[in-house]
Amino acid sequence: MSTQPVSLVPPFTRETAIQKVRRAEDGWNSRDPEKVALAYTVDSRWRNRAEFIHGRKEIVKFLTRKWQRELDYRLIKELWAFDGVRIAVRFAYEWHDDSGNWYRSYGNENWEFDQEGLMHHRHASINDQPIKESDRKYHWPLGRRPDDHPGLSDLGL
């Protein structure tokens, strides 16, 4: 991974947008709701599927609930587009429920940032596809995706 600037703030270049996306992916792969919430403004507004979330406290509650349900969660995000204070990403993550049923969830997110680089709006559309465990593509140990692991485009996703 290339050296990251101390702060990734708008306006974004292609390089800083890619770094911002990877930093977000790394945070979500930590599955630490408190840590992830710090990337968002105190009054951040989300639409996640059909759920509307407002502020860091609700983000922490949402993520805690999410990762209690979505076990062995592994995520890959990829830059789709960027402009000034906005970034669009596509992503896919794999997880299983408490009955051992595996899923790959596909989606798109639209992000908008404040001048300090904190996200104040996140709009996510996500679809879940049941998969066989043998169809999984993400096999790294839980946590950050290794730098040499293929991304979405490389995996044909």
Domains identified in the chain, total number: 1
Q: Is residue 149 part of a domain?
A: no
Express as a percent the part of the chain with pLDDT over 70: 96
Q: Is residue 123 part of a domain?
A: yes
Query: Token pair for residue 19?
Result: 């770094």
Mean pLDDT across the stretch 57-68?
A: 98
Give the position of tokens 């404040």.
Answer: 114
How deeply is 65 buried, as exposed, middle or buried, from its count of CB atoms within 10 A (0-12, 13-18, 19+)? Answer: exposed
Residue 61: CATH number of its domain: 3.10.450.50
Q: Is residue 141 part of a domain?
A: no
Q: Is residue 95 part of a domain?
A: yes
pLDDT of 100-119, one tens digit each? 999 999 999 999 999 999 99
Give the position of tokens 């105190």.
Answer: 42
3-state secondary structure of 153: coil
How far is residue 54's CA from residue 139's CA, in Å, rounded to a whole number?
33
For residue 87, what are the β-bridge partners? 82, 111
pLDDT exceeds 80 at position 2: no
Q: Identify the pLDDT of residue 113.
A: 98
Which residues span the domain enclosing 113?
14-135
Phi/psi for 62 (5° steps) reads -60, -50
Q: Is residue 2 part of a domain?
A: no
How far is residue 142's CA from residue 1's CA, in Å, rounded to a whole number?
19
How far is residue 142's CA from residue 157's CA, in Å, rounded to a whole number?
20
Q: Is residue 1 part of a domain?
A: no
Mean pLDDT across the stretch 29-34?
A: 98
Q: Is residue 144 part of a domain?
A: no
pLDDT exceeds 60 at position 94: yes
pLDDT of 72-90, one tens digit each? 999 999 999 999 999 999 9
117 to 6, 104, 136, 146: CA distances (angstroms) = 11, 29, 34, 25
Mean pLDDT of the chain: 95
Q: Is residue 50 part of a domain?
A: yes
